[in-house]
Structure 1
């Protein structure tokens, strides 16, 4: 859950972006400028007052709350125990991945053979595990960051290697926006580390685009998966041809 301080920081930034001063805001909500400054300075504001300010400034309150939640520090990974709990129940893992894609409850049960009570129960379990924070109306916010990744060589990554990679690379990669590249190179340790940083930047860019497209209708978005690997490797059939 985002803190009141974070909510007010986002609100202040939104007011600046809209070029609304404390004096202008005070006039719109019938308060003195000093009272408005004190309210922001003391970081003390009721939900009713927040709604009033957002309405007066023409700023959607839901946008302020969402941006505040997104800016709140979250974990980049789960614990080993959390991943093991996901792997113990395939349906729980499915709903967890849907949540990472910000699917709604309705979207999940419309897409997969799962009843509403069952799906709600799985959301409750994900809340207990700390992956999401379940809210009234079966809505939720994520408790992991946009840069979330599975534990290296953890239960989920092991499952991906054994069951997912073959299925993923079995596609033709000729659809709209799809591509497959395999680029060999001989690099120094420093160059390899530089490339790792750029891969992390790419992951951050994917998270940014994913976050920005959440405002679009579901029909305007398509599930896409970026599967990256980078390591010292030679195809075994080629290794067998090396000179003894």
Structure 2
């Protein structure tokens, strides 16, 4: 179902919820009831007409869109087997990462050595995994929840830890586009939990910024990775200096 279809179906549910009929809509729009029925059947509304109906329902247009999105089944996490299938297929992995970062079909095809056929084949695999919906004209609609994440200690997270971490930190972090901040201090369990919540808010701000800039041309955006980490941990180098009582605790 396209987004337009979903929006009209959501509008119909809102009308029913408030006990309104096609006759009411016809009166609001100054049309015949037959014309309104045809509009709903063809799912062909102008923005002005949608806003008029929303006004009569005491509903902001943005609320209608949010209600539609809330009603859709959005993916929060893949299964262990699904993640493993992505890790085992490097081309699928590449396309999945591109899609999650908002690449279009043409951007994937032109930036990487994938034929249109191969690109389509991989996108169809992602559609079967419910990560996306492949629309006419090779348009990609992501079906990811706002809190989508790879599985904790799952195949993809382990892959990044094994192969990406060393490469990521193999840098002096002294260019204009790089920054490394290492913080060290003493925190209580409550303080640690509070800091983790702060990190989570930063992660949301990062994703919000990516979303706000998603309309920019792809050549104006570049891959950006930010690592936020916290743990109760001490360098192994100092392990032998720990008192025996502390080591057993």
TM-score range, shorter chain: 0.7 to 0.9
Aligned to 1:108: 108
Alpha-carbon spacing, 1:220–1:92, altered in 2? closer, same or farther (3 Å) = same
| 1:4 counterpart (2, 7, 31) | 7
CA drift at 1:163 = 0.4
Q: Structure 2 length normalisation: TM-score?
A: 0.73
Aligned residues: 214
Alpha-carbon distance between aligned partners in 2 of 1:51 and 1:97, rounded to the nearest angstrom: 34
Q: 1:197-208 residue pairs with structure 2 within 5 A?
A: 197-208=197-208
Q: 1:73-84 residue pairs with structure 2 within 5 A?
A: 74-84=74-84
Q: 1:210-221 residue pairs with structure 2 within 5 A?
A: 210-221=210-221
Residues 31-62 of structure 1: CA deviation (Å, up to 9, x unaligned):
743769x9xxxxx6853114564799xxxxxx
Q: Match of 2:134, SS?
A: strand
Aligned to 1:94: 94
CA drift at 1:143 = 1.5
Alpha-carbon distance between aligned partners in 1 of 2:131 and 2:48, rounded to the nearest angstrom: 32
CA drift at 1:174 = 2.2
Q: Match of 1:141, SS?
A: strand
Alpha-carbon spacing, 1:232–1:172, altered in 2? closer, same or farther (3 Å) = same
Moved over 6 A (4+): none
Q: 1:1-244 residue pairs with structure 2 within 5 A?
A: 3-4=6-7, 8=11, 32-33=27-28, 46-50=42-46, 53=49, 72=72, 74-243=74-243
- Residue ranges of structure 1 left out of the alignment (5+ in a row): 10-30, 39-43, 57-63
Q: In the alignment, is the contact (CA less than 8 A) between 1:147 and 1:207 conserved in 2?
A: no
Residues 88-127 of structure 1: CA deviation (Å, up to 9, x unaligned):
1011111100001011111112222211110110000000
Q: Structure 1 length normalisation: TM-score?
A: 0.74
Alpha-carbon spacing, 1:134–1:193, altered in 2? closer, same or farther (3 Å) = same
Q: Cα RMSD over matched residues?
A: 3.4
Alpha-carbon spacing, 1:173–1:84, altered in 2? closer, same or farther (3 Å) = same
CA drift at 1:7 = 6.1
Alpha-carbon distance between aligned partners in 2 of 1:33 and 1:221, rounded to the nearest angstrom: 45
Alpha-carbon distance between aligned partners in 1 of 2:182 and 2:229, rounded to the nearest angstrom: 10
